[in-house]
Chain A
């Protein structure tokens, strides 16, 4: 099976490194540094010493850009991050213990070109699917995390993404760890048809149970967070944050423009647009994200709950 090969090639085997307890739904224990940035960086960034900012056109030294968390030092443009890069800059030690790394997509509808698309995305990103889930700590506060990767078939949600998110939410509920999501997705994955659509219901139900148990859920919209992911679990955080300039919306701009026969303003569906329309709690720069999450975690960890709060 080619998924197996994918793992074999990298020489990763289950059972290596600090072990998770068996209870963790067959999670593959991973080396602590596996998801850290340096190991992956070479892959994610095109060859060459410089990169051009798509927003202001500045020519930036790659090293300088990376030192600045991939934010353009001139205009503040936030370059999209891969899931491993996001994990590296967000969690203590730059890593999380990953859950459910064994789950891989089938092609349940025998949809034209889907298997090839999956294989290509796996090859190119080194990931198995569009979301990485697991547990880690942020400034010492334990959390269950789900980090999406927009490079993997546009970060779209099929059966595996839905399952991993649902399991992560269930784990957060079981452990009573806050659930932190970094969303980056074009929406539900067309190639799995109705099964993708139903993942919206599944993930929404899982975070509903998390909410009923009184566990915090912080959802961070990164570029882009759209369609069926916004309209399900990602949209259901107790606290909704976004990175500056991120595209956030239900329907794509082009389809809306075709429907209403009208050109939409440039800021339409940006984080700033959503904030102005009362749909976000805050826009948080990449530099401020980790301290902001830590602050929110602290605010939910101290003192006591009154009024029957669990």
Chain B
């Protein structure tokens, strides 16, 4: 099996055995239904067991599964009439970031996301979903266009990070990301973000400043890849599982840390096992988010987004223990000055 995950080995062996038995039964005409049923029940139990206790590193592997639905596949199934837009009008079209206009249940929206490939060839063409500055500037162009036409923006995050390349630095990778954060913070239309696969560093964040943020159950999102963190702390990429644990990068972690609004459930075994179910869930969460956000006047929307961003973080004061939430509330009690 080309796309097997190491921790799924026993499950895959069992599934293989079931297929063999079925083939054998068909071929020889021997009734093995009892045996097959027994094995299928065992496989189900094993899968449930595996996925109930999935560790952070296993989740990272599921999020990277080559068959995992890509942004374009999600867009194709969640929206109608997608029309892709290309280029940032400056240097080149970045295939690692896709975007365009589509309808969501009749409502025109702008969609933007990182795009990975499904085949090796496509992965290379898409640069494994790692944007150059051009990709982030294409996103910037589409953000401004969405604002102009009053379209909500839906983003899909799935990148191992911004591309670490020479040209990327020459053309201002850092400044391009900063510009996106700045623009999204003040955009006058709703922004809803789904972290659908992996999300590392500023490259991922450049599409993830939002009014609502959802994360697929087995997706991960943090400041650095587990491999990068392992290299920095333990000088050894083999320590990646340990780094994944330490970084607290799972959807559950981000929910607990107050970064995301909700976890989008995935089918047993990951999104690729039943993509239709995942598209349905994304539609459900998006409907929910837009219902709330579309009724807000732009000023309220931006103010709430600001409060939301402002409240993320945990720290203490020497005077009293506070977290960002309380600090934000504190400020609400002193409205003179900081807000007009």
Which residues does A use to contact B, with CB under 8 Å?
Answer: 1, 3-4, 7, 23, 25-26, 102-106, 108-109, 111-113, 158-160, 162-163, 166, 170-171, 173-175, 188-190, 192-202, 204-209, 211-213, 226-228, 230-236, 249-251, 255-256, 259-260, 262, 264, 268-269, 277, 279
Given contacts A231-B173, A250-B173, A256-B169, contact A200 B181 (CB under 8 A): yes
Taking the nearest CB of chain B, how far is it from the CB of A3, in angstroms?
Answer: 6
User: Which of A112, A212, A249 is close to B233, meaning CB atoms less than 8 Å apart?
Assistant: A112
Q: Of B164, B174, B310, B324, which one neighbours A235 at CB under 8 angstroms?
A: B174
Task: Give the residues in chain A near B317, CB-CB below 8 Å.
Answer: 26, 102-104
Contacts of B11 in A (CB 8 A): none
**Complexed CA–CA distance, A235 and B163 (Å):** 18
> Is B172 at the interface (CB under 8 A from chain A)?
yes
Given contacts A200-B205, A205-B310, contact A194 B257 (CB under 8 A): yes
- B contact residues around A111 at 8 Å (CB): 246-247
- Minimal Cβ-Cβ distance residue in B for A160: B315
How far is B201's CA from A201's CA once the two chains are assembled, in angstroms? 12
Q: Is the CB of A4 within 8 A of B257?
A: no
Given contacts A108-B257, A205-B182, A236-B182, 12 further A-B contacts (CB under 8 A): A25-B330, A159-B324, A174-B337, A195-B312, A198-B205, A202-B310, A231-B177, A236-B179, A251-B164, A264-B166, A268-B166, A279-B175
Pair B166/A262 contact, Cβ less than 8 Å:
yes
Binding site for A on B (CB under 8 A): 162-166, 168-175, 177-179, 181-182, 184-186, 201-202, 204-206, 208-209, 221-224, 228-229, 232-233, 246-249, 253-254, 257, 259, 305-306, 309-310, 312-319, 324, 327, 330-331, 334, 336-338, 340
Q: B178 is contacted by which of A202, A206, A235 (Cβ under 8 Å)?
A: A235
> Closest approach, in angstroms, between the C-beta of B219 and any C-beta of chain A?
12
* Contact residue among A159, A201, A259, A277 (Cβ-Cβ distance under 8 Å from B315): A159
What are the residues of chain A within 8 A of B173 when measuring CB–CB? Answer: 231, 249-251
Q: How far is the CA of A196 from the CA of B254 in the complex (A)?
A: 12
Residues on A with beta carbons closer than 8 Å to the beta carbon of B312: 195, 198-199, 201-202
- What is the count of residue pairs linking A and B with beta-carbon distances less than 8 angstroms? 222
Give the complex CA separation of A228 and B286 in angstroms.
Answer: 29
Alpha-carbon distance between A199 and B170 when the two chains are bound, in angstroms: 25
Q: Pick the contact of A202 from B170, B309, B331 — CB < 8 Å?
A: B309
Give the complex CA separation of A188 and B253 in angstroms: 19
Residue in B182, B246, B313 whose Cβ sees the most chain A Cβ within 10 Å: B313
Question: Quick check: B222 and A251 within 8 Å, CB to CB?
Answer: no
Contacts of A264 in B (CB 8 A): 166
Roughly how many angstroms separate A232 CA and B206 CA in the complex, as a whole number? 10
- The 8 Å CB contact of A251, one of B162, B257, B330, is B162
Are the CB atoms of B248 and A109 closer together than 8 Å? yes
Contact yes or no, A197 B164, CB < 8 A: no
Decide: A194 and B259 in contact? CB cutoff 8 A.
yes
The answer for the CA separation of A94 and B247 in the assembled complex, in Å, is 40
Which residues of B are found within 8 Å of A195, using beta-carbon distances? 257, 259, 312-314
The answer to whether B253 and A194 touch across the interface, beta carbons within 8 angstroms, is: yes
Residue of B nearest to A114 (CB): B246
Residues of A within 8 A of B170 (CB): 277
Which residues does chain B contribute within 8 Å of A198, judged by CB atoms? Answer: 205, 259, 309, 312-313
Q: Which of A4, A111, A205, A279 gathers the greatest number of chain B CB atoms within 10 Å? A: A205
State in angstroms the CA–CA spacing of A171 and B318 once bound together.
21
Chain A residues with CB under 8 Å of B318's CB are: 1, 3-4, 7, 102-104
CB-CB under 8 A from A230, the residues of chain B are 174-175, 178
From known contacts A102-B317, A194-B248, infer whether A259 and B223 are also in contact, taking CB-CB under 8 Å: no
